[in-house]
Amino acid sequence: MTDQADGHVSIGRDNFAPIINGNNNTYHAVEPLHVTAARHRAAGLRQLRLGLPSEAAGEFRSARTAEPGNPDDYYFGAIAELGGKKAFLAPLRCVRAADVLIHGALDLEDRPEFHYFLAYLRFDYYARKHLRPPAPWQVPFAEAWAKGLTQSRIDSLFTLLSVEDPLPAVR
């Protein structure tokens, strides 16, 4: 399916897939993978905002499968992995899963909010529990600010996490 300039959608031969149904073969329209990923991403964000992080995590997993090169799916998936709890209260397996996902997002694109989220994980889980983190939280924290982090991005992150920002304010 392709969108034309006048807003109409044209359906081409490549947008159909056969469904084998007994003796009758029928055809149905097939969405391109980027459309499927966008739908999963939108559903995941909706579920995060509704406070349904486990359902959101599944949607972001499906979006990553459909479009593995989109860093947003890793970032939002990392947020969902914490289960709507502070990192301090989340199980270690969830913190580690979020850590792996945020590193996946950073591998795809170097954004300040990804570094800030990583700093949050290391500060709130490891530092508050007096555990040795994989690396100090101050490193990604400084990197986030050096890359031009804004307060609106921080607010957006913590709105999706549904927790308060425990990191120190930079003046």
List per-block mean pLDDT (blocks of 10 residues) for the chain, which spans 171 residues: 49 47 53 81 95 96 95 98 95 97 98 98 95 93 96 95 89 51
Lookup result for tokens 């459909």: 66
Evaluate whether 148 touches 36 at the Cβ level (below 8 Å).
no
pLDDT at 135: 92
pLDDT at 33: 67
pLDDT at 35: 78
Q: Between vectors from CA 163 to CA 167 and to CA 112, what angle results, nearest 5°? A: 50
Give me the phi and psi of 136, to 5 degrees please: -65, 145
Evaluate whether 80 touches 53 at the Cβ level (below 8 Å).
yes
